[in-house]
Each structure stands twice: as structure tokens, then as C-alpha cells.
Structure 1
Amino acid sequence: MNYFTKCSIINTSTYIWLHEDENIKLDTLAKRANLSSSHFRRLFHQYSGESLHTHLSRIRLEHAAVWLKYTSLPIIDIATIIGFSSREGFSRAFKAHFHYSPKFYRARVKEKTEIPMPTDRYGTLVPSIKIIKTSSVKVAFLRQFGDYFKVPFTWKRLGELAEKKSFLHSADCCIGVNYDDPEITKSKYLRYDACIPIPEEIDFSLDDNGLCIQTLPGGWFAEVSFEGTAFEEEALWNYLTLLWLPKSGYSLSDFRCLSIYPIKLIPSSWLDASKLLTKRYKATLRIPIQK
């Protein structure tokens, strides 16, 4: 799969993720990727490991699980959001995928989920949360599938490619995009984009290293500054989504979680990458919100 085709498939996958509530047609996706329908279907399966139909169904049901976990929306509203015309049809599909009815799943998840208060080196941390509006940003990125513990090594690889293309040191930050909740999505399907902002005029020619370009959409975000380890960052995400958000008057506008790091955090060696999970660092965390 050449550079342009791979990037088209990746960006089409992101489009599906952001528009799963719409009646997405194969022809529409193929047109976005500048491919024939049959060629797109084959390459999408090669890229994702799933047929388009299976992928769409899984994404919709996983998003339903996110709504059940992180909101108090009525089940019929969640069914409608992800494209089901009846609560009964949604419940059957959800139970077939997760082995629980939506009602039981919501009760079970809320009962099991522990939400420790985030901490810093001085003890319990009460985060200062700001509401901001951001503009879209063009980024070069690598997409990782699989366990999030592999993320530091994806950052190392991105740093090497950015160095070769001479845009690593022109950026003042890097951006991590988490698309999936590991308690909902199976490990092999977890997606993470390691991104570096680039000037609008930069473009790539053929490239067989997986480096692609996308535009991260702007919008309204809840933002909090952070200093700590990766495990403490996870605790802060849980606080934001499970404690702060339900009481804030806002709801999630989509399910991306953005972490903005100093550019110097990108590891330059395998040893540095292996230490990143326990290293202390500074970051800015953002969740997309709406009223």
C-alpha cells in the first residue's frame, strides 16, 4: 500500500470515527479515499483487520458503551445517536457484542469503576480546569494500533522521521490523541496518534514509513495543566471524565482525549522510550466538550 493510499485509508478511518452517527455508505468512503468501492473495501480490510461492516458496527457499539459509562443519557437516546431506530434492536446488538444488556452494563461499569483523586508530588491535587476554544492544527503523525504501553516507542519513531524531514525542531509541542477507552475496546484495536504540528506549506511525497498528515479539528475543550507520570495522567483523565464532567454542565462532543507535551519529551533512544512510562513530565490535557 503506497503512501497516499495508506494516508487516505487512515483519514477515512478517522472520518468514520467522527461520523458514526450518520448513514455512512461504502461509495462515500471510497470517494473520499479516491478509490473504487471494491478496491477501498479490500484495502480497508487489509489496514484495519476487519470488514467495513464489522468495523462500523464495532465502533458504534463501543461509542454506545462510552455514552453509558460517562453520561446519564437515557438508553433510547444513546440508541438513536448511534443509528438504531429502536431500543430493542440496540439492546440485542449491544448484548451480542458486550455480553450484557445496556442497562446492566451501565450499572456494572459504574459499580466497578474506581475514581481516585489525582495526585502530584505534594499529595491530592484539585485541578484548575479552564474552558477554551482552539483552532484546527495541521500535524504529521504516526498511528499506533495496540496496547498503549507501546506509545513511547511510537514517539521515538516519529521523532526519528521528523528529524529526517527537518520539522522536529520547528515545533514547540507534540500532541497525543487517544481514541479509545482500553476498558471498552480490545487491545488490538486501540488507536493512538502521535502528532507533531507542521506549517501549512509542508507536504510529503511518497513515504513508506507510515508518516501521514491530518488536520486535528478545533473546538471547545476543557483544559487542565499536569505534571506527573503516565499513571498519574491516567488518574487525572478519570477525574475529568467521570467526576468533573457530569457535574460541569457540559458533555463530551466526541471521544478524543488530547495530551499536549513539550517537544523535548520525544525520546531519542530506546532507553529513553522505555523510561517514559515512569518519568515525570509536564503536559496539558484536553477533552472536547459541548453544552
Structure 2
Amino acid sequence: MNQINIITDLIKWIEKNLEQPLSIDHVAEKSGYSKWHLQRMFKKVTGQILGTYIRHRRLTHAALALRLTSKPILDIAMQYRFDSQQTFTRSFKKQFNVTPATYRRNDLWNPSGLTPPIELQKNHLSIPEPTFLTLPEQEFWGITYKNNCDLNTFINENVAFRKQFFNDYLAKTLSKKKVIPDKIYSLSCLVKSKDKDRQDEQELLYSIAIDDQSISSENVERIVCPGGLYLCFKYIGAPAGFIDFLSQIYFSAIPLLNVQLRRGKIIEIYSNHNQLTKLDNITDINVIECDYCIPIVHK
């Protein structure tokens, strides 16, 4: 096996184990090489220092957890193997120029400092290509869930919420011989804590909705989504691949883009539902079509 393949496999393993002990000794033991030889090989192949790369990737995951989840800062520090919140804050400020608390509170999210994973085999690179889209203010009617998970389960739990809503909604719609709407929406946003003693905490709200007021179900509410500029990624593929698609957006695409994200609702637009009228439930769908839209600011 050549050195590029060895380091490629090692990088994949590191990505899956950022919450585990990853000292140079641990990584060397996994690789089967001495730590001195492994560090020289990693620097030669990637141009980066192995220990620095691991720290930057951990801090990148931590930064995403601060912006995308409601997990307390201390818990995030422990999750990514910092021995104290003070150590985490020092390392975080060195990479992002602000403290974790400020990073979480800021209305604008500057992605500079986020470190994408190293991609050595460019022919296998499949980062989604974005488009810029200006959306008007819209009204929706749907059901809102509170999602207090961490970054690892953030994507999986949102998928579970969609399945629950889609199954309930489709069952009622199809049983009444109604037409499936052209678009079904998922809306997610983070709400700052109103408690003065918990200003560094936030709550993730996740809504599933349609733009038809006639929807009849328990707990349905009116949801207003302000207009503005969005960075949109298109996904067409199997439902099982959607989790990898979102991971690519947050762990690879966003760190590489020179845009500022703003607070607001992330909008998922699901379209082309003709196949649904022939299915018993959402788990039978083979292909989904989704526009994943993230609010950003004009340059």
C-alpha cells in the first residue's frame, strides 16, 4: 500500500474517532508505525502536522456543535477530549479569535477558522456545489419539535422527526384522497435562552410544515420564515445518503466557503412527491429531492 492510501485510511479513521483518545501514541498504534515515522509520513503526504490537524478538526466539530446544537459548552469541551473548559477556551480562541461563548452568541457566523478534512484523492471528492437563492417571507403550517441533542445525533434525530411527520401526514392525506402538496418543508432554528443566568445556552426548534393552511392535525401552528439570501445545496438520491450529504455540507463545504452565515431558519424544501401517492409510507421511498437552504448575509 502506498503512502497516500495509508494516510487516506488514517484520516478516515481519525474523522470517526475525534471523540476518542487521539494522542500521537494512540494514532501510531492504530497505524502500525512508530510515531516518529508516522508523523514524518503524514507531514510529507499532507503538508500538515498530525497533532495540529487532529486538534483543528476537533475544534471544527466543537464550533459546529456550538452553532448547531443546544449542548452546554462544558459538555462540548469534554466531548472533544479537552481536559477542562479553560483549556478548551484557550485552544478555541487561538483558532477562531473569540471565546466559545462569544462564538455561540454572535448573530453572524464567520466560517473562517473551520478546518475541512484533508482530501488526498481528489477524484473521490464529492462536496456539494451550492447556489445562491433569494427567498421571500413565507408562511407555513406545521408541527414544531424541540431537539436537544448533540452534534452526532443532530442529523439522525432530524431525519427521525421528518419520518414521523411524513408518515402521520401522508396517512391522513392519502386516506382522505387528498392531493400531496408539491413541496413539504423542514425548518430548523436556534433560539437563545431568555434566562440571564443561561445566556450561553440555546434551544433547537425543528418544524415540519407545508404552505397549505388546510392541514388538519394536532399541534399544528403557523410558522413565519423571514425572507433573505440563502446558500442552497441540492440533494437527489436515496434517503440513506442524506445524512452523508449534510455531513459534507457542514464538515467540508461550509469551511471552504467565504460567506457569513446569519441566524435564521434553515429551510429544507422537499419536492417531486408524485411517487408518494403510490406508497404506503415514507420508508418505501427510494429517492428524495431536497433543496437545503442556509441563511447567509450579502457581501
The two structures have a TM-score, normalised by structure 1, of: 0.48
The two structures have a TM-score, normalised by structure 2, of: 0.47
Question: Which entry has the higher C-alpha Rg, 1 or 2?
Answer: 2
